[in-house]
Amino acid sequence: MSWQERFKREFIQHPGEHLLNLGITGSGKTQDLIWILDALRSGAPEETILWNDAGKSNELLLVGQFGPLHILLPEGMDIDITSDSVEYTKTWFTDPADVWRSLERGMINILCIEPFIRKPQYFTPVITSIFSRLIDMAHDHRLPVPLSIFYDEFHRVAPGKGQAYDSKHAAFGAEIQYNIETLRSLRVRFVASTHGWTKLRKGVRSSFNWFMINRGGSFTSAEQPRLSRYNKKFETLENNEAIIAFPDKVFTDIMQIPYYGEGWHYGSVHYSGKITPQNSPFIKKKDDINRSDLQTIKDMLLKDLMNPVKL
């Protein structure tokens, strides 16, 4: 069996398998994620897709070359797309659960919220509320599974030590860590990327069994002894090259990833609006924050410290 056939059978057509794309900035990670999206759309058409829009380089238009887009926007924000090749509809939400209730099979769902967040202290309450509802609804079997969630820079959701914006951000990483294996069994997968192995929370990164490695991707010998032996090889990859490591740490050959172009080749995207405590139901104003909230954060951090992950 070729590695292409094995990858299709054991990853593309096997819901719930998490994959982490690792490489430095400019190493081709976006093209890798598009390559996987292309493979899922053709090899597992029943899979529901959610792509997180980071608002970078009009990549939304590149994603739109693989199917009609269903763009999910917070109430009060908007997006204007100028393109002859992208078909899209828009849905607005106020309740974070509505993100997951609104997912459409057959379309590429786009979570468009990060482009409207300008301050790190606003990122935490918005993203944590949305992904907390994902976890709840997955456990309640209220998601259109199988579901693949594409998230560039996943360390922003589950930050490693010293990477969190604030204590609540760090505490939410523990919630993701606690649930990521269960999400796998519930046929919800993350296809995620990060700039560096240790930028991602330790207990979360250990839950990824599949790796797609670009130039500059590297592993620690303590956690991934077999993969870390090839760090120097990974350093020499070209921007259009990648290596897939299977769960048993068997490698593919060096792959030539197709160049899908850049988003700006297909038009332009303009975002309107800015999330603030005054216009977002996800962000509490200072006078709304109470001791119960602070104690919850403290309890989660203490639990995390008292129960370190053993690898």
The 10s digit of each residue's pLDDT in 83-124 is 999 999 999 999 999 999 999 999 999 999 999 999 988 998
Burial 60-91 (b: 16+ CB within 10 A, else e): bbbbbbbbebbbbbbeebebebebeebebeee
Average pLDDT over the chain, rounded to whole?
92
In degrees rounded to 5, what are phi and psi of residue 12?
A: -55, -45
Other CB atoms within 10 A of residue 237 CB: 20
Burial (0-12, 13-18, 19+ Cβ within 10 Å), 215: buried
DSSP label at residue 156: G
Q: Kind of pairing, strands 147-151 and 188-194?
A: parallel
> For residue 168, what pLDDT is reported?
86
CA distance 150 to 37: 9
Residue among 156, 228, 167, 162 at smallest CA distance from 194: 156
8 Å CB contact between 212 and 252: no
| pLDDT band for position 309 (cuts 50, 70, 90) | low
Q: Using one digit for the tens of pLDDT, what is the confidence trace for 187-229?
A: 999 999 999 999 999 999 999 999 999 999 999 999 999 999 9
Where do we find the tokens 């759309």? 41
Whether pLDDT at 299 is above 90: no
> For residue 308, what pLDDT is reported?
64
Sorted by where each starts, the structural domains of the chain and their CATH numbers stand as 16-306 (3.40.50.300)
Question: What 3-state class would DSSP assign to 82?
Answer: strand
DSSP label at residue 2: -
Where do we find the tokens 């294996």? 181
Give mean pLDDT, residues 59-84: 96
| pLDDT band for position 56 (cuts 50, 70, 90) | confident
> For residue 160, what pLDDT is reported?
94
What is the percent of the chain with per-residue pLDDT over 70, rounded to a whole number? 91
Other CB atoms within 10 A of residue 107 CB: 17
8 Å CB contact between 299 and 98: no
Question: What 3-state class would DSSP assign to 180?
Answer: helix
> For residue 279, what pLDDT is reported?
87
DSSP label at residue 114: G
